[in-house]
Amino acid sequence: MSTLVILISGRGSNMLALLEAKLPVDNIFVISNNPNAEGLKTAAKMGIQTICIDHRIFPNRSAYDTALADEMDRLKPDLIALAGFMRILTDDFVLRYQYRLMNIHPSLLPAFPGLYTHRRVLKEGVKIHGCTVHFVTPTVDHGPIVIQAAVPVFAHDTDKALAERVLQQEHQIYPQAVRWFLQGRLNFSDNMVTISDATTHNSVIYSPELQK
């Protein structure tokens, strides 16, 4: 039986996109480091088993990640999907679940890793922005890329408007990437991901605005 674990810290909009995608998986669990995360309530209402491991009760990052790893080993996930999980995981945790730990980032990696991507994109005058699903490695936001989506940046854009446009694409590509993984269609070679039985265009999605 296949198992997906989704890690969240807040409202869990990407979590919801995954839960609504009817993925080919037998068991789904949602775990949060924040007992007040809205996503926990959303998942529970959908009949998904939720777990809270509150990071505030642990003395340091390593102790928290050890407890999180213990829970992972109990659940035995095929894939761990970070969906707005606002913690940097320790190298030990990342390497323990190498190639089973996926994340979505609101930029076209390797450009603009880290936080405040939309603000930084606007400041730099970038014309095309987007989002990336990638596998997590010890180097933050630099893991093997699975799929990306691009959106235009308009002259009148604000952080909020741009974030909303990117988020719409996140909700499309994250379920697609997870589905490919669960179908066994992702292959790894030299820090590159290829997709079995896919055309060269299947790993990139362009928003409708870019095609006008």
Task: Give the span between the Cα atoms of 51 and 33, in whole angstroms.
Answer: 9
Instruction: Give the residue from 72, 75, 124 showing the smallest Cα distance to 96.
Output: 72
Cα torsion 74, 79, 85, 90: sign: positive
Partners of residue 67 on adjacent β-strands: none
Catalytic residue numbers read: 105
* Angle, helices 159-182/117-124, rounded to nearest 10 degrees: 120
Instruction: Give the residue from 38, 15, 101, 87 showing the smallest Cα distance to 58.
Output: 87
Task: Give the span between the Cα atoms of 70 and 68, in whole angstroms.
Answer: 5
Q: How far is residue 1 CA from its own chain's centroid? A: 22
